[in-house]
Chain A
Amino acid sequence: MKKTNSNVSIRTKSVLTGWSFVLLAVILIFVFYFYPMLQALILSFQTGTGSNLTFTGFDNYTRLLSDKTFIVSVKNTFIYLLVQVPLMIVLALFISVLLNDSKLKFKGFFRTAIFLPCVTSLVAYSVVFKYLFAGNGLVNTMLLKLHLVSAPIEWITDPFWAKITIIIAITWRWTGYNMIFYLSALQNIDHSIYEAARIDGASASRQFFGITVPLLKPIILFTSITSTIGTLQLFDEVMNITKGGPGNATQTISQYIYNLSFKYSADFGYAATVSYSIVIMIALLSVIQFKVAGDKNG
């Protein structure tokens, strides 16, 4: 009888100890993550400017569906997503395989050089890109000097080229980041697999598609999900390079949220609704990616 009692108390004690370990983290997560999320959800059912908010039910959500600017922002964001994410992932994969070659010299230098963009400040590099791609910027000057173009390309003020500029910028910034994941995964692949493949007469490309890519699949899934989330939240580059323009040709959803909150007349309720649309999109896309690429590894 006494024994069981002490057993219970020991169990209670260990549960309490366990909880006390995570208690602080749990409280902090509730206060700084769940509470704001709930607040934002409540806010998304309210309309009005500044602090004059009134509950209007699903008004904001119906407005969302007929809001041309929102639709254009979603379209732009998905163009970045569909063009830039695959481009970057293929590029990162390619570079990491090159850098993993045991015969390559100055490996450390190349790895650092390609990873370096990821440690630069988002705002700082965006501003540099803005000046590189300005009408009379370095890129145009070089293209003109090399006689590749006859007139300066309007990188920032033309709707098509502005999108290209943003894609070039984010590819430069994030490729190295993904490359590091591939590189560390590649180093975990046993050399003997490649040796065996070579003995069997497999070409380099056959080795790449037959061994490297399948073995990197979980990492590819991981990088494509993180890149998707990152692209859906794209803000700094667009804000600093093109300000969403010309017109709203490069505007992303995040920038639209900023505009609704601060550029226009402080419509925080509708901005919260738009934020929730991103949450829904990210959740849906992640599920799809898991279904498509996940199989047993997912």
Chain B
Amino acid sequence: MKKGIALLLICLLLLTACSSNSNSGSGSKNTGNAAADNGTSGNTATTEPAHAKEITIWAWDPAFNIAALEVAKAEYAKTNPDVKINIVEYAQADIIQKLNTGLNSGTTKGLPNIVLIEDYRSQSFLQSYKDSFYDLSGSIKGSDFADYKSGPTSLDGKQYGIPFDSGVTGLYARTDYLEQAGYKLSDLQDIDWNKYIEIGKAVKEKTGKALITLDPNDLGLIRVMIQSAGEWYLKEDGKTPNIAGNAPLKEAFEIYKQIMESNVAKVHADWSQFVAALNSGDVASVPTGNWITPSITAEATQSGKWGIAPLPKLTANESVHASNLGGSSWYVMNVDGKETAADFMAKTFGSNVEMYQKLLTDIGVIGTFKAAAGGEAYTQANEFFSGQKIVSDFAAWTEQIPSVNYGINTYAIEDILIVEMQNYLNGKDIDSVLSDAQAQAESQIK
């Protein structure tokens, strides 16, 4: 009896062992195949450069980034029909998690060949995982792209990223509400934030609509304001916290509080509520990145009711009417297939002026490739915005965006500031708000 049980158990163990063997067997078979593929390409390397036949790309936002990739894929297929390109859509937070866990585990299996990373985060990846990204200095020239993009996309003089989405900001405003309050879009040209609030009060009084919608958990507006003055949460070295004694940051905080206290702001808690506030006509304006255009134009009934003015500026002299909010860039991973991935990027986003025209007319993507701005699509009038040539406006503002060093701690510092902002709104003195935040940032960031 016992023998029988023992036998049964051994059989069971063997079975599991076998099945796990066969699993790992098929696993290694897969890698074997991949190795074989590389092997063949390696063999042909004597005659032509080693190129993988298949690459994978991760990105977020189907209406914007994924759509742009599809255009690039079609463009690349014209000259390289044998390369298979897999485009995988993940939410941005998922990409960050997958990249971090993948890179930390030390195995490159499961990582993509190309990945989209937000500019605020790129240095954190480049510096935390050295050698995990492929040096593109030989494929593209960083100087071909908007200057403020070079900080986030390069490290130690090497170009790692292909600058993409500009993130250039503008002040989107409802011209019909402005008119009811006795203003025109031209009244929003070259104003500072105080004037903006003043106009907002009039709009609120006449139309009952809020001037702006804000998420208390997102200090994007503060980021926009300080970058317009060439300052950041960190000093130029990208390491030392620059909070106490940062004049533009102090002014930005004061403006934020004024907006809150003037009763011209509506509060939202997430992206969908944010877009809903714009589309429902609840707010009169939104100062944000140009990537909001597809979301605004999605509400076709509001065609002709929106216009775009330059960003208001701080009263500090060095502040300009241009800034960046959450732009992103492409990065090639240092894994098998990197040469093909780099070639794909160089031939599409890295050089193809024609493609950028198509990206603009079909999707509304404003890239940061300087040469593309001379194209025809950049000067076209936009019906939704009453015939305003919004792209040439944005392209002009892109050139003025001051460069800052985002460092690797943007979101860590911002979480400290969000808390201090609440304290400030509740009556804490501004100087102690900033010096407390400075002290906390210094103790947390090492």
Q: Which residues of A are found within 8 Å of B412, using beta-carbon distances?
A: 263-265
Tell me, yes or no, whether A24 is within 8 Å of chain B by CB. Answer: yes
Tell whether, in the assembled complex, residue A13 and residue B446 are in contact, meaning their CB atoms are under 8 Å apart.
Answer: no
Tell me, yes or no, whether A14 is within 8 Å of chain B by CB. Answer: yes
> Given A24-B13, A159-B422, do A265 and B409 touch, yes or no (CB 8 Å)?
yes
Other-chain residue from B16, B104, B127, B130 in contact with A24 (beta carbon distance below 8 A): B16
- Residues 396-432 of B, flagged 1 when their CB comes within 8 A of A and 0 if not, give 0000000000001101100110110110000000000
Q: Shortest CB–CB separation between residue A76 and chain B, in angstroms?
A: 12
Q: Shortest CB–CB separation between residue B216 and chain A, in angstroms?
A: 4
Tell whether, in the assembled complex, residue A47 and residue B446 are in contact, meaning their CB atoms are under 8 Å apart.
Answer: yes
Chain B at the A interface: SS class: helix
Tell whether, in the assembled complex, residue A264 and residue B409 are in contact, meaning their CB atoms are under 8 Å apart.
Answer: yes
Other-chain residue from A134, A243, A249, A266 in contact with B124 (beta carbon distance below 8 A): A266
A246, closest chain B residue (CB): B216
Q: Which residues of A are found within 8 Å of B6, using beta-carbon distances?
A: 13, 16-17, 20
Q: Which B residues from 1 to 32 make CB contacts under 8 A with A? A: 2, 5-6, 9-10, 13, 16
Tell whether, in the assembled complex, residue B444 and residue A67 are in contact, meaning their CB atoms are under 8 Å apart.
Answer: yes
Q: Which A residues from 238 to 258 make CB contacts under 8 A with B? A: 242-249
Tell whether, in the assembled complex, residue A259 and residue B415 are in contact, meaning their CB atoms are under 8 Å apart.
Answer: yes
Tell me, yes or no, whether A154 is within 8 Å of chain B by CB. Answer: yes
B266, closest chain A residue (CB): A135
> Given A262-B97, A262-B100, do A20 and B10 touch, yes or no (CB 8 Å)?
yes
Tell whether, in the assembled complex, residue A157 and residue B267 are in contact, meaning their CB atoms are under 8 Å apart.
Answer: yes
Other-chain residue from A51, A154, A246, A266 in contact with B422 (beta carbon distance below 8 A): A246
Q: Which A residues from 2 to 50 make CB contacts under 8 A with B? A: 13-14, 16-17, 20-21, 23-24, 47, 49-50
B96, closest chain A residue (CB): A262
Other-chain residue from A50, A130, A135, A246 in contact with B104 (beta carbon distance below 8 A): A50
Tell whether, in the assembled complex, residue B422 and residue A50 are in contact, meaning their CB atoms are under 8 Å apart.
Answer: no
Other-chain residue from B16, B270, B443 in contact with A66 (beta carbon distance below 8 A): B443
CA distance A244 to B216 in the complex (A): 11
Q: Which residues of A are found within 8 Å of B13, using beta-carbon distances?
A: 20, 23-24
A23, A24, A49, A268 — most chain B CB neighbours (10 Å):
A49
Tell whether, in the assembled complex, residue A51 and residue B408 are in contact, meaning their CB atoms are under 8 Å apart.
Answer: no
Tell me, yes or no, whether B300 is within 8 Å of chain A by CB. Answer: no
Tell me, yes or no, whether A68 is within 8 Å of chain B by CB. Answer: yes
Q: Shortest CB–CB separation between residue A58 and chain B, in angstroms?
A: 15
Tell me, yes or no, whether A156 is within 8 Å of chain B by CB. Answer: yes
Tell whether, in the assembled complex, residue B124 and residue A49 are in contact, meaning their CB atoms are under 8 Å apart.
Answer: yes
Tell whether, in the assembled complex, residue B128 and residue A49 are in contact, meaning their CB atoms are under 8 Å apart.
Answer: yes
Tell whether, in the assembled complex, residue B128 and residue A68 are in contact, meaning their CB atoms are under 8 Å apart.
Answer: no
Q: Shortest CB–CB separation between residue A195 and chain B, in angstroms?
A: 49
Tell whether, in the assembled complex, residue B267 and residue A264 are in contact, meaning their CB atoms are under 8 Å apart.
Answer: no
Other-chain residue from A67, A262, A265 in contact with B408 (beta carbon distance below 8 A): A265
CA distance A21 to B8 in the complex (A): 11
Q: Which residues of B are found within 8 Å of A69, using beta-carbon distances?
A: 415-416, 419, 440, 444
Q: Which B residues from 335 to 375 make CB contacts under 8 A with A? A: none
CA distance A263 to B413 in the complex (A): 11
Q: Which residues of B are found within 8 Å of A16, using beta-carbon distances?
A: 6
Q: Shortest CB–CB separation between residue B11 and chain A, in angstroms?
A: 11
Q: Shortest CB–CB separation between residue A273 and chain B, in angstroms?
A: 13
CA distance A262 to B419 in the complex (A): 19
Tell whether, in the assembled complex, residue A51 and residue B416 are in contact, meaning their CB atoms are under 8 Å apart.
Answer: no
Tell me, yes or no, whether B297 is within 8 Å of chain A by CB. Answer: no
CA distance A157 to B418 in the complex (A): 12
Tell me, yes or no, whether A52 is within 8 Å of chain B by CB. Answer: yes
Tell me, yes or no, whether B435 is within 8 Å of chain A by CB. Answer: no
Tell me, yes or no, whether A223 is within 8 Å of chain B by CB. Answer: no
Tell whether, in the assembled complex, residue A247 and residue B419 are in contact, meaning their CB atoms are under 8 Å apart.
Answer: yes
Tell me, yes or no, whether A100 is within 8 Å of chain B by CB. Answer: no
- Residues 82-117 of B, flagged 1 when their CB comes within 8 A of A and 0 if not, give 000000000001001100100110100000000000
> Given A13-B2, A50-B128, A51-B104, do A157 and B93 touch, yes or no (CB 8 Å)?
no
Q: Which residues of A are found within 8 Å of B444, using beta-carbon distances?
A: 67, 69
- Residues 96-138 of A, flagged 1 when their CB comes within 8 A of B and 0 if not, give 0000000000000000000000000000000000100011000
Tell whether, in the assembled complex, residue A17 and residue B415 are in contact, meaning their CB atoms are under 8 Å apart.
Answer: no
A133, closest chain B residue (CB): B269
Q: Which residues of A are found within 8 Å of B408, using beta-carbon distances?
A: 49, 265
CA distance A203 to B96 in the complex (A): 61
Q: Which residues of A are found within 8 Å of B419, using beta-carbon distances?
A: 69, 72, 247-248
Tell whether, in the assembled complex, residue B267 and residue A248 are in contact, meaning their CB atoms are under 8 Å apart.
Answer: no
A70, closest chain B residue (CB): B444
Tell me, yes or no, whether A261 is within 8 Å of chain B by CB. Answer: yes
> Given A17-B9, A69-B415, do A245 and B217 touch, yes or no (CB 8 Å)?
yes
Q: Which B residues from 116 to 140 make CB contacts under 8 A with A? A: 124-125, 127-130
CA distance A63 to B216 in the complex (A): 27
Tell whether, in the assembled complex, residue B100 and residue A245 are in contact, meaning their CB atoms are under 8 Å apart.
Answer: no
Q: Shortest CB–CB separation between residue A43 and chain B, in angstroms?
A: 10
Other-chain residue from B409, B416, B418 in contact with A245 (beta carbon distance below 8 A): B418
> Given A20-B9, A265-B408, do A247 and B270 touch, yes or no (CB 8 Å)?
no
Q: Which residues of B are found within 8 Å of A264, using beta-carbon distances?
A: 124, 409, 411-412, 415
Other-chain residue from A13, A51, A265 in contact with B103 (beta carbon distance below 8 A): A51
Tell me, yes or no, whether B295 is within 8 Å of chain A by CB. Answer: no
Tell me, yes or no, whether B273 is within 8 Å of chain A by CB. Answer: yes
CA distance A246 to B218 in the complex (A): 9
Tell whether, in the assembled complex, residue A17 and residue B5 are in contact, meaning their CB atoms are under 8 Å apart.
Answer: yes
CA distance A248 to B9 in the complex (A): 54
Q: Which residues of A are found within 8 Å of B415, using beta-carbon distances?
A: 69, 248, 259, 263-264
CA distance A264 to B125 in the complex (A): 11
CA distance A261 to B446 in the complex (A): 15
- Residues 75-86 of B, flagged 1 when their CB comes within 8 A of A and 0 if not, give 000000000000
Tell whether, in the assembled complex, residue B273 and residue A134 are in contact, meaning their CB atoms are under 8 Å apart.
Answer: yes
B131, closest chain A residue (CB): A51
Tell whether, in the assembled complex, residue B411 and residue A263 are in contact, meaning their CB atoms are under 8 Å apart.
Answer: yes
Q: Which B residues from 269 to 296 make CB contacts under 8 A with A? A: 269-270, 273
25 sampled A-B residue pairs with Cβ under 8 A: A13-B6, A17-B9, A20-B9, A49-B127, A49-B408, A51-B129, A52-B130, A68-B440, A69-B415, A130-B269, A156-B269, A157-B216, A157-B267, A242-B269, A243-B270, A245-B216, A246-B216, A247-B216, A248-B418, A249-B422, A262-B93, A262-B97, A264-B411, A265-B409, A265-B412
Listed in ascending order, the chain A residues whose CB lies under 8 Å from chain B are: 13-14, 16-17, 20-21, 23-24, 47, 49-52, 63, 66-69, 72, 130, 134-135, 154, 156-157, 159, 242-249, 259, 261-266, 268
List the 5 closest A-B pairs by CB distance, nearest first.
Answer: A50-B128, A245-B217, A264-B412, A265-B124, A49-B128
